[in-house]
Structure 1
Amino acid sequence: MLVALAEQNSTSERLKQGITQVLSIIDGLHQPWLDGMELLEDAQWNKRILSMGCERIDMFLQGGLHEGHLTELVGPSSSGKTQVCLRAASSVAKNYLDSVLFLDTCNSFSPKRIAQIVGQISDSDNKEVNKVIQRVMNSIVYHAVFDIYTLLNVLHRLEFNLRSQKGSQVRLLIVDSISSLISPILGGNGTNGRALMTSAGILLKKLAQQHNFAVLVTNHMVAGERGILKPALGESWKSIPHVRLQLSRDHGSNICNMSIIRHPLMASGEEVKFMIL
């Protein structure tokens, strides 16, 4: 209708130009249709599998974190979620020249713990280990994020930088924890909180798929029916992650258990035990 209106008025050249620009932007936002062969080739050639820095977890997950996937770690407090994130960040930063972006929502990031993990997974002497630690630290970009609006702003800026090729390539994006940002806006019967939650989840998946990196987020647990613990964020969130992993740990033990809630390549309920050192 706008195009037809502009055509009727021969003097509306600026309106025609504006409409053309808007239509061009809309066309650019549409995702192209892809056939199965194109998806297979993209998975084979553009999507790597990233080691999480723990041999038992990597073997369990058929290699580790898949680029293009949003992976969620669900678990109660002290179940090992942050430790798994720090170990994954250390491993990816050590093995690739690309950066790891760590979005910290609850002051969980520990550079001392990163250095300790790098020392554990390095086979070199002390002098070489210090060089590796320095390289790893330089590859991890840290950002404190304390509300959902800041998270969306950071993600939109990241999207702009990746599109314009500003800065280094991201290989892994971690949000620890995403539930700390979303839970405060889900109260009541309003839909705004759920809409913001869905927007954040979809944007994370879009960035991972289009720019070939892995996303790892953490989510806490809340009491459900009969006091049984269940993942927070509700029904609207549970369909967003490609992979959902549940962590648990006995009190006072360094042995953790990881089980599959959902995985495109694995059956739900499969589990593995691993040790946090």
Structure 2
Amino acid sequence: MAPLKSLERQYPIIDSDFQNFCASHSIFSVEDFLIHDLYELTALAEQHPTSERLKEGITQVLGIIDNQHQPWLNGMELLEDALRNKHFLSTGFEGFDLLLRGGFREGQLTELVGPSSSGKTQCCLQAAANVAVKHMGRVVYLDTGNAFSPQRIAHFMEQISDLHFKQAKDKILQKAMSSIVCHSVFDIFAMFDLLFQLECDLRSQIDNRDYLVRLLIVDSISSLITPVLGGIGSQGRALMISAGYLLKKLAHEHNIAVLVTNHTVGGDGGFCKPALGESWKSIPHVRLLLSRNHGSSICSVSILKHPAMASGKATEFVISEF
């Protein structure tokens, strides 16, 4: 689903006046309608001189939502979809893969939580390299903190590739590096623009195997969402929920493994907890906690949340030095 401003060309009723009315009530996208009281919104619209046109706009948005709904699927259909389309992508770390029974799952949103220098970006870069080389898939990498390192990815790829002939290895590395697309993103609105463009590209090139995106990385999601949270209004929370909804929608409908990183903040009793609060907590399918002692190459990862495994299971893996 899209921001309201992007719908005006196709639906003239969703004009600037309608968008301004919605914005005054912290509604900026189609998804935002899902978390608002529509009866109250309609009552507020009736107080405006252009009430009839505003109510027509509300009806139009509801129609867009109805058209986006997918048909109900029974348990067998969901199981068949999972077995046929939702594969595992190796993380690039053997112990990590064993813990997750294969790696990051396509169709799911996986969140890596950890303090600074715990290895979150390293895991993202390793996963990107591994998917590009071993799974021969495209990777879309949204870099929010200038942490993307093509040199480090090339280093990982050289370790992954076991070819002995330099010419063949160079050809594979060149193709793999070309399959990773990195975008620098510094605010949540730029991320929305890129994700909506990605969705359009995926829909228009659904039969193009060369464009098959296997992994989408946002490093880090918290740095984009934290600046819009807080304050009196609910705009920040609505944007956060919309971002989570769109990432999960891309994952499910296009069989993409989505990987995001999140930092930690101080909690009760001096213990650290994931940032972004309770509202975000329910969004990821899988939540993993990373930790690493200062100066050590050994990382620890434990399961905070998983649809098929108990919380608390943990393992260690080694991050290679560059």
**Is the TM value for this pair above 0.5?**
yes
Q: Distance in 2 between matches of 1:132 and 1:36?
A: 40
Contact 1:118 1:132 in 2 (8 A): no
Residue in 2 that maps onto 1:194:
237
Shift of the alpha carbon at 1:193?
0.4
Shift of the alpha carbon at 1:131?
2.0
Contact 1:103 1:143 in 2 (8 A): yes
Shift of the alpha carbon at 1:189?
3.3
**Percent of matched pairs sharing the same residue:** 63
Deviations 1:165-200 (A, max 9, x none): 277121100000000000111122321101100100
Q: Confirm or deny that 1:221 pairs with 2:221.
A: no
TM-score, structure 1 normalization: 0.89
Q: Distance in 2 between matches of 1:139 and 1:81?
A: 21
Deviations 1:84-114 (A, max 9, x none): 0000000001123331000000011000000
Q: Distance in 2 between matches of 1:200 and 1:87?
A: 24
**Helix, strand or coil: the match of 2:300?**
strand
Cα RMSD over matched residues? 1.9
Deviations 1:106-136 (A, max 9, x none): 0110000001101111211233332222111
Residue in 1 that maps onto 2:79:
40
Q: Distance in 1 between matches of 2:237 and 2:65?
A: 25
Contact 2:247 2:258 in 1 (8 A): yes
Q: Which amino acid aligns with 1:105?
A: T
Deviations 1:54-77 (A, max 9, x none): 111111110001000000000000
**Helix, strand or coil: the match of 1:230?**
strand
Deviations 1:26-69 (A, max 9, x none): 54311211100100000011111111111111111100010000
Contact 2:89 2:135 in 1 (8 A): no
Q: Which runs of 5+ in 1 are unaligned?
A: 1-20
Residue in 2 that maps onto 1:11:
none
Q: Confirm or deny that 1:64 pairs with 2:103.
A: yes
Shift of the alpha carbon at 1:256?
0.4
Residue in 1 that maps onto 2:153:
114
Shift of the alpha carbon at 1:25?
4.5
Q: Distance in 2 between matches of 1:250 and 1:95?
A: 30
Q: Which runs of 5+ in 2 are unaligned?
A: 1-59
Contact 2:139 2:179 in 1 (8 A): yes
Contact 2:133 2:161 in 1 (8 A): no
Residue in 2 that maps onto 1:54:
93
Of 202, 219, 231, which aligns to 2:274?
231
Residue in 2 that maps onto 1:81:
120
Deviations 1:220-261 (A, max 9, x none): 001112321110000000100000000000011010000000
Q: Confirm or deny that 1:161 pairs with 2:204.
A: no
The count of residues paired between Structure 1 and Structure 2 equals: 259
Residue range with higher mean Cα deviation, 235-244 or 179-188: 179-188
Of 311, 314, 317, which aligns to 1:268?
311
Of 99, 117, 120, which aligns to 2:138?
99
TM-score, structure 2 normalization: 0.77
